[in-house]
Amino acid sequence: MVSGVEVRDAATVMLVRDGDAGLEVFMLRRTLNADFVGGAYVFPGGAVDDADRHSDLEPVCEGRTDAEASALLGVASGGLAYWVAAIRECFEEAGVLLAHRDDGEIVHLTDPDVAERFARHRTAVHSGERRLVEVCREEGLRLAVGTMHYFSHWITPEGAPRRYDTRFFVTAAPAEQTPLHDDRETIANLWTRPADALERYRGGDFDLVFPTFKSLETISRFDRAADLLDAARAAGQPPLVQPRVVLDERGVRILLPGDPGYDEASPPPDGVVLPVRPD
């Protein structure tokens, strides 16, 4: 078993919209040489950084206080940092900034001059040169945390070489922004119906990690983005899901709470590669 692995806090956001054939979600493909799940299609997201946790978050956030965010996540304090991290990662990886202007509208990036200025902001935030809250102060923006809804909570199984305590969020994609992968951590992007992504996965040409697979299964039940967002808004705090891994005559398998054998499962011995993708 890989022991002593730090469990890092992380945040991920699903951008959704209505396409011609129903609800669509935005996905990015991780670079093939990534240390973790290279080549897999994912939602924008990553670790919660120290820069996301500063005490000056509330003045640049709209629609949710730290106390409210923390209560929803079930933590004592600092919950707002997860929303901020998800928005920052979405900006870095997809070029989408979920932030309100003074008039209440989500920032528009259709004007070429504005788009170029925010592309520079994106590069500076991505490199660590600037914090996202600093960009918000300069541009007079407030992060749209109130319209980004808590969706699910996953912890990587014990025994994995990298482990994350990840909060998933869902929000409507801004109409006046065009997502685009960063060509660094991600190499491709697409809008897809969840059912189509699942079908492509089963056909062998669309790699998914387990929490992404299960998230797509869940949102595939909704025909319209508004219905999904309404359900997420009303759902409250989702249950924690920490998969466990078992090695038996069927091989190495991922078990979820409630599955037979879950309570007895323990990490496989050293040298056994743990699955991160669904069977």
> pLDDT of 139-155, one tens digit each?
999 999 999 999 999 99
- Percent above pLDDT 70 for the chain: 92
pLDDT band at 252, cuts 50/70/90?
confident
Give the residue-averaged pLDDT of 47-70: 91
Per-residue pLDDT band at 269 (split at 50, 70, 90): low
Span 22-40, average pLDDT: 84
- pLDDT (0 to 100) of residue 2: 47
Mean pLDDT in residue range 52-60:
86
pLDDT in tens, 97-113: 999 999 999 999 999 99
Separation CA 91–CA 11 (nearest Å): 13
Evaluate if residue 42 carries a pLDDT over 70: yes
Q: Give mean pLDDT, residues 147-166.
A: 91
Record the pTM. Answer: 0.92
| pLDDT score for 278 | 66
Listed in order, strand segments (DSSP E) in the chain are 7-19, 22-30, 41-42, 45-47, 99-100, 142-143, 149-155, 163-172, 186-192, 240-241, 244-248, 251-255
- Domains of the chain are 7-239 (3.90.79.10)
What single-letter amino acid sits at 151? F
Residues in the chain: 279
157: DSSP letter:
P
- Name the one residue in this structure whose structure tokens are 């897809």: 192
Would you place residue 251 in the very low, low, confident or very high pLDDT band (cuts 50, 70, 90)? confident
State the first-to-last Cα distance of the chain, in angstroms, to the nearest integer: 21
- 1: pLDDT strictly greater than 60: no
Whether residue 8 has pLDDT greater than 60: yes
Q: Across all residues in the chain, what is the average pLDDT?
A: 90
